[in-house]
Amino acid sequence: MPHTLLPTIIWSIPPNPVVEINHNRLLAVLDDIVLKLPKKSQLSISHQSISEEELSRFKETTFDTALLLHIKDAQQWLNASETDHNRALPAGVIVWGESEVLGAQEILQWFHCNASDVIVMDEAEALLSQIMKEAMMRARRQRTLLQMSSSLFNESKKIQNRVDALMQDQMEGQKLQMGLLPEEVHLRGPLAFESFVSPALVLSGDFIDHFKIGDHCVGFYLADVAGHGVSAAIMTVLLKSYMSRYLMLSKLDKNQGIRSPVKIMTKLNHSILESGIDKHVTMIYGVIDYQANTLEYVNAGHFPHLALWDGGNDDWQQLHHASKPLGLFENTAFSAETRVLPEQYALLLSSDGLLEAFSDGSNDERMAAFQQQYIALAHEGLSLIEIVARLEIDKNNKSDDISILTIRN
Q: Please give the chain's pLDDT, 409 residues, in tens.
A: 333 334 444 444 444 434 444 445 555 555 555 455 444 444 444 444 444 444 445 555 555 566 666 655 566 666 666 666 666 666 667 777 777 777 888 888 888 877 777 877 665 555 666 776 676 677 667 777 878 888 888 888 888 888 778 777 777 877 788 888 899 989 999 999 999 998 887 888 899 999 999 889 999 999 999 887 788 888 898 999 999 999 888 887 765 689 999 999 999 999 999 988 888 999 999 999 999 999 999 999 999 999 999 998 899 999 988 899 999 998 899 999 999 999 999 999 999 989 888 878 899 999 999 999 999 999 999 999 999 999 988 776 567 889 999 999 9
End-to-end CA distance of the chain: 80
* Domain co-membership, 208 together with 346: yes
Task: Identify whether 167 is part of a domain.
Answer: no
Amino acid present at 302: H
| 187 shares its domain with 103 | no
Pair 242, 93 in one domain: no
Statement to judge: residues 278 and 392 lie in one domain: yes
Would you call 232 exposed, middle or buried from its count of C-beta atoms within 10 A (0-12, 13-18, 19+)? buried
| Boundaries of domain holding 350 | 181-408
Is there a single domain that holds both residue 144 and residue 187?
Answer: no
CA distances from 281 to 171, 196, 207, 229, 235 (A): 24, 19, 11, 14, 9
CA separation, residue 29 to residues 82, 125, 132 (Å): 31, 8, 10
243 and 383, same domain (yes or no): yes
Which of residues 106, 130, 149 is at a domain's end? Answer: 149
Q: How many domains, in total, are found in the chain?
A: 2
Helices (H), 181-228: none
DSSP assignment letter at 100 = T
Same domain membership, residue 321 and residue 213: yes
Please identify, among 133, 149, 165, the residue that sits at the C-terminal boundary of a domain.
149
Q: How many CA atoms lie within 13 A of 79 on its CB side?
A: 5
Residue 209 burial class via C-beta count within 10 angstroms: exposed 0-12, middle 13-18, buried 19 and up: buried
Do 353 and 210 reside in the same domain of the chain? yes
H runs (alpha helix) in 276-398 = 363-379, 384-390, 393-396
Residues 157 and 213 sit within 8 Å (Cβ to Cβ) = no
Residue 161 in any domain: the answer is: no
The CATH number of the domain holding residue 106 is 3.40.50
Burial 278-317 (b: 16+ CB within 10 A, else e): ebbbbbbbbbbbbeeeebbbbbbbbbbbbbbbeeeeeebe
Rounded CA-CA distance 55/50 in Å is 7
Residues whose CB is less than 8 angstroms from the CB of residue 340 and which lie 6 or more positions away in sequence, other chains included: 293, 294
Q: Give the model's pLDDT for residue 262.
A: 95
Residue 168 in any domain: the answer is no
Which are the contacts of 253, defined by CB distance < 8 A and separation ≥ 6?
A: none
Q: Could you say which DSSP state residue 84 is in? A: -
Q: What is the DSSP letter of 118?
A: E
Q: How far is CA 399 from the centre of its chain?
A: 14
Residue 175 falls inside a structural domain: no
Q: Is the dihedral of CA 172, 175, 179, 182 positive or negative?
A: positive
CB 132 within 8 A of CB 8: yes
311 lies in a domain? yes
What does pTM read for this prediction? 0.65
User: Is residue 1, in this structure, part of any structural domain at all?
Assistant: no
| Same domain as 339, residue 226 | yes
Strand arrangement of the beta sheet that strand 93-97 belongs to: 45-49, 8-13, 65-70, 93-97, 117-120
134/194 same-domain check: no
Q: Give the pLDDT of residue 341.
A: 96
Domain boundary among 149, 169, 199: 149
Note whether 90 and 207 are same-domain residues. no
Which domain CATH number covers 303? 3.60.40.10
253 lies in the same domain as 384? yes
Whether residue 139 is contained in a domain is answered as: yes
What number of residues does the chain have?
409
Question: Is 169 within a domain?
Answer: no
